[in-house]
Structures are given as C-alpha cells and as structure tokens.
Structure 1
Amino acid sequence: MPSLPTACLLSDSAIACGNVHMKQVPALSDAGLKMLYLADNEISRLPRGVFAGLPNLEWVDLSKNQLDSGGLHPKAFQFLPPQNLTKLKRLNLDGNRLTRIPSLPPSLLELKVNDNGLERLQSDSFRGLYKLLTLELEGDELHDGNVIPTSFKPLRSLIYLRLDRNRFRAIPSGLPPSLQELHLDSNHIEEVREGLLNKTLNLSVLVLSNNKLQEDRIAPRAWIDLPKLESLDLSYNRLVHVPSFLPRRLRQLTLHHNRIERVPGYVFAHLRPGLEFLRLSHNRLRAEGVHATSFAGLGRSLAELLLDHNQLQAVPRGLLGLKGLQVLRLSHNLIRQVPLNSVCDTRVAEDSSLVSMRLEQNLIDLRRIPPTAFSCIRAYHSVVLHPQRGQA
C-alpha cells in the first residue's frame, strides 16, 4: 500500500481521507477494503481501473471534489472481470462538476449525484442498475426538456427518488412503478396532469413543496386513486383553498405557507381511514373560510391540526367533532374570545384527547374566558394562553 497522508484514518476494512488536499485517488491494492472515504478533496480525475486493486469495495464517497465528466473515464467504475466492482453498493458523487451519469456497476443500491451540473438523462444513463433502491439528483440542471421518459426504465427496483432543486415544470414521465417516495421540492412545477402517476401504484410519499402549484392546475384524477399515497407535501405553493380530489388513503397533508383562504366543506370526507396530520400554518384563513363541515370525515382520525399564523378571528367551527385530536395550534391569529362549547362540549361528560393546545399571540381577554371553556382537557398545562398581543 502506498503512503497516505498522516491525517487519514485506517482500519482493516476502511480508509477515510477526508479534507486532506488529495489530488488523485491513490493506487491501492487490498482485497479486504470495503469502505473508501475521500470526500472534501481536490480529486479531478478518475482513470480507468483506478479501483482495480479493491475488488470488494462496498462504499465509495467522492463527494465535494473537482470531478467533471471529462476527467472521469467512462469505465472508471467498470473494468474487465475477474477484477470488477461487483460488490459496490453505495456511491456518493455529490458536489462535483459532472454533466452526465458515468457507467456504473449493476451491484449499486444507492447513488448520489446531488449538486453537480447534470445536463441530461438519457435511456442509457442508468443502464444495468436494476438493483438500485435510492437515487438522488438534487440541485442539478435537469428539466422537462433534457430528461426523456425512458431514462428511468432500467431502475425497476427503485423506491426512493430525489429531484429537488432542479427546473422541472411538471412531474417527470416514465417514473418506475416500484417507486415509493418522490421528492420534487424547489422546482418550477405549475400543474399536476392526469395520468402521470398512473403506474406509480406503490407511491406512499410525494413532496411538491416550494413550487408554483395552484389548485385549479391539479387534474381531478391526478392522484385520487393512488392506493398507497399517505403523505403529500404541498407547502410553499400558490394554493388559495385546500385542493379537492385528494388521494383517498392520505394520512398526512402539509399545506403551510400557501395563500389558503378556505377549507371547503366535506373536502376530506372521501378519505379512508382519514387524515392524521393536517398542517395549515402560515396561510390566510379567516373565520368565514372554515365551515362546520370543513373537517367532516376526520372525527376519529385527525390527531394534529395546525392553524397558527392565519387571520382567524374566532375559534374554528367543527372542532368538537374531532374526537381524536391531540395537538391543536391556533396561536398567532386574531382570535378575541373562546366561547363556551367551542373547544369543550360542556353538555357531554367526557375528557378531551387534547394534550397540547396553543392559543398565545391572539387578542383574547383572558379574564373573559368562561371557567369551563377548557374543562374537558385533563392537564391544565396543556393549554398555552400567554402571552397575548399587547399583553406582558
């Protein structure tokens, strides 16, 4: 083994040489080596056969170097048998200057190429990667025009795909049917067309935060019938009301930092078994935008309701029907009073399931709260009322 910088950490199966000003991968030969960590260096070239002496490598981290597609040999990670990277499972190429995906061994389970300059995805970009489970392509130059629909076709085992901080205007076509989690935060997505997600029947988590979505640009049947979609993040968009035709199996809906003025009646009524988490903080909700039927269908399922940082002038109607509610946040609104039977139904002798209720930073005169307004809440400290605006 050649000499390595003294700052490197060595063990029987691992070499870690992070941030040691290394300019090239050393010519190593060790059949026992499984992990090679070379992040935060100045490596600009990967010649062919650079890993030829390390046939049992399982994890290589080359993040935050100076690799570009010109300095990376097309066969840097693939060479003639019997000396091949047949056991490589994890490869991290984050923070380099790559414009295309290099040829990679079919053993890979995880690939990260975040924060590079990827300019296109073609039908052969992921050739042979039929075992790949996790793919991250965040912060690149990808958009609708340079990602062809067949790009993802070889990835028949993929369950996690991250495409945040690119320039997509729509959800990409041709996503693998195996996909369970899709992240598209911070793109330019303006619409969700019908049919794009028809084959991703295993999708359970979809993140579309920080885009340009409006509710009238979401097709009625865009995702309502996806049988496993349980978590949907639409925060930081341009929604004016809670979208209709939500996925039937949805359990978690994140809508904070939109322009929402209205929660339509019965908008959640078709959900089975119903939402558990509903996050509507930092919107434009007023009392008239929340109806007695706005939360219909969530009576037994909803555990967390966040309505803080809105313009509510009163405690919303319909809360008494939320029998499973544990967390209710109404802070930073314009609420002036807590009427009797708005939080606790004094006509019924049963304890509330609430363990946290926040009402601070409103306009409530605490002296005028009825003595039994919170009588159903078992722990007094569960209700936060101080401070109110203009009060110490």
Structure 2
Amino acid sequence: MLVHIPSELPSTLEEIKINDNHLHAIDEDGLKDLKNLITLELEGNKLSEANVSPLAFSPLKSLSYLRLGRNKFRIIPQGLPTTLEELYLENNQIEEVSEICFNHTRNINVIVLKHNKLEEHRIAPLAWINQENLESIDLSYNKLYHVPSYLPKSLLHLILVGNQIERIPGYVFGHMKPGLEYLYLSFNKLTDDGIDPVSFFGAYHTLRELFLDHNELKSVPFGIDEMRKLRFLRLNNNKIRTVPPERICKAHLDDDVHDNSEEEENEDSRLEHVHLENNYINTRQLSPHAFSCIRSYCSVVLKPQKSK
C-alpha cells in the first residue's frame, strides 16, 4: 500500500522492487543517495510524466535496468539515467517517442513499449536511429499501420506483433549494420501488395527468424529464397494457396551441370522450421521442388489446411 518510495534507504542498495503498490509521485529527492542502484522496478503503480520529476532519476549513477510497466505514462519519462541498458514501459498510454527521449542514454540495449498507443508518425525520425547499442525494440500491440522507418542502425530484434500493419516499406531495414536478425510480424494485416522484394533489403543476409503468421497473405512473399541465414519461417494462418518451386528454395541448375562441389553444399537452405499450416494449400499439387533446399522434410509443417 505504499504511496511514496520509502525515505532513508541504504545507499548500498543495488536492487529495489516496489511493484503493485500505490505510488503516485516521485519527486527529485525520492531516489537520492542511491548511486549504487542497478535495478529499479516500479510496475503497476499510478506514475505518470505529471507526477515523476524530470530530476527523479539523476542520482542513479549506476542504474541499468528500469521497469515502469502498468503505469499511466503518456510520454517516455524524461531524465533517464545515462547508464540505462534496459527500459520496460509496457501497458502504459504512450502516444509518442520524441527525438530527445534517448539523447543521453547511449548504452541502451532493450526498449519494450508493447501495449501502448503508438502510431508510426508519432515516432520522431531522430528518436533512436543513431543509437549504437540498441538491439531490441518491442512495439507489439500498438496502433502501427506499417513498419516504422528510422529504426536504430544497430537493431537485431524487432517485435511488431498484434498491430494493424499492412505494409513493410521498401528499404526500411537498409541502413542497419550489421543487420536485422529477428523480425516478428504475427497477427497483423499484411497483404501481398504490402511486401515487395525491396521490403527486406538490408536484411537478406542476416535474418534468422521471420514470423508472418496470422496475416492476410495469399502467396509466399518474394525474397525468402534470398535469405541465406533464415532458420525459422512462419507463414501459417494466412490465405496462401500454393508454394511456387522457387519462392522458398532457390532454383537449382540442371543436375548434369552440377558437380558435388562445396558451392552446391552451400546452396542448401539453413531452414529448420517452416510453418504453412492453416492456409488453403492443396498439398497434393505442390511441386516436388518447392522445399528441395530444406534438409529435413519433418521441418515443413503443412497440416492441417483450411478448405475453400
């Protein structure tokens, strides 16, 4: 039933958890002297930008892990510690990410903003594009209509489950170094028109997992055959009717031209899991070459299918 953070906490503390209380303010002295604090959890309270001082976090010279989920924030709190590495703000009412939010958090690695009210045009172009350590962003269950532009250069994990996304804009991943590895777009509104070969430009050689299940795709998107490192592909629960021979597996040369060189060995896909169940595929009509690059047939899930 705490309403305020207890005063006179020992300065040696490294971890404080005050989740699911009734905190409704943190003034600028609320966390004073806690220079050794590494972890701070304040989830499930009544905190907002109106009652948390922009100076509240400034005494925290060692903080790396901050949880503020299930509060009442409409914007990302100001004055975040420069040492911060992980920030959790899920289940708030956040509507925008301004270009100054993360100006001073150069070490930030993980940002979780799922279950908020973000639209892509309310994420400022300079909000996080120049972050060099930001590897994971979770924007699931917001109000996004397409994959946001100006994502961090360093991004490896992008989680966009449960939005209204209809489109992956061309070259949206093109500036990333070393490149995106995990892209989760399940439970959106993607159609064939919303994905084209340049949608994945910049991620062809790095993507390991691609989740496009529970969308409105009628065919397997172009470009998957170019994804050399892809291990896990989810296309289940769409409206796909067939899998053309060269859409998942690159076309092989004629057999008599091949010798058993290493190059051919490298042509084998790394795909370990391909989910295509709950579509409209007539499995009897599939080409024998549709999955020829996948080493193990048990890696391909085709049953059950929906009838017309």
Answer whether TM exceeds 0.5 for this pair. Answer: yes
**1:233-244 matches, cutoff 5 A:** 233-244=138-149
Asked whether 1:99 is paired with 2:8, we answer no
Displacement of 1:346: 2.0
Residue 284 of structure 2: SS of its match in structure 1? Answer: helix
For the 8 Å contact 2:226–2:250, the answer to whether it is kept is no
2:16 aligns to what SS in structure 1? strand
Query: Percent sequence identity over matched residues?
Result: 53
Instruction: Identify unmatched segments of 5+ residues in structure 2.
Output: 254-263
1:180 maps to 85
Q: Which has the higher helix share?
A: 2
**For residue 69 of structure 2, what is the aligned residue in structure 1?**
164
- 1:293, CA displacement in angstroms? 0.8
**Per-residue CA shift, 1:86-139, capped at 9, x if unaligned?**
xxxxxxxxxxx0010112010100000000000101111011100000000000
* Correspondence 1:1-392 to 2 at 5 A: 97-103=1-7, 104-347=9-252, 349=264, 350-390=267-307
Give the drift of 1:226: 1.0
SS at match of 2:33: coil
Measured in 2, the distance between the counterparts of 1:194 and 1:156 equals 23
List structure 1 segments (4+ residues) > 6 angstroms apart after TM superposition: none
Question: Corresponding residue for 2:261?
Answer: none
TM-score by length of structure 2 reads 0.95
Structure 1 residue 334, shift from structure 2 partner: 0.2
Amino acid at match of 1:208: L
What is the alpha-carbon root mean square deviation over aligned residues? 0.9
Letter in 1 for 2:286: I
- Residues 290-342 of structure 1 show CA distances to partners (whole Å, capped at 9, x for unaligned) of 01111111122110000000000000111111111000000000000101200
Task: Note the alpha carbon deviations across 1:41-83, whole angstroms, 9 max, x for none.
Answer: xxxxxxxxxxxxxxxxxxxxxxxxxxxxxxxxxxxxxxxxxxx
* Count of residues in Structure 1 that have an aligned counterpart in Structure 2: 295
Letter of the aligned partner of 2:269 in structure 1? Answer: S
Secondary structure in 1 matching 2:288: coil
In 1, are the aligned partners of 2:99 and 2:127 still within 8 Å (CA)? Answer: yes
SS in 1 for 2:248: coil
Structure with greater Cα Rg: 1
Cα distance, 1:212 vs. partner? 0.3
3-state SS in 2 of match to 1:141: coil
In 1, the alpha carbon distance for the partners of 2:153 and 2:40 equals 28
CA distances 1:195-217 after superposition (whole Å, capped 9, x unpaired): 11100000000000000000000
Stretches of structure 1 that go unaligned for 5 or more consecutive residues are 1-96
Alpha-carbon distance in structure 1 between the residues aligned to 2:96 and 2:226: 34
Superposition deviation, residue 345 in structure 1: 1.1
Residue 133 of structure 1 aligns with an amino acid whose one-letter code is I
Letter in 1 for 2:121: D
TM-score by length of 1: 0.74
Determine the C-alpha separation between the residues in 2 that align with 1:263 and 1:227. Answer: 23
For 2:285 and 2:191, how far apart are their aligned partners in 1?
A: 22
| Offset of residue 390 of structure 1 | 2.7
SS at 1:341 equivalent = helix
CA distances 1:330-386 after superposition (whole Å, capped 9, x unpaired): 000000010120011123542101000000000001111111110000001000000
Counterpart Cα distance in 2 of 1:229 and 1:374: 35
> 1 CA distance for matches of 2:131 and 2:22?
33
Query: Secondary structure of the residue that 2:298 maps to in structure 1?
Result: helix
Separation in 1, partners of 2:288, 2:107: 50
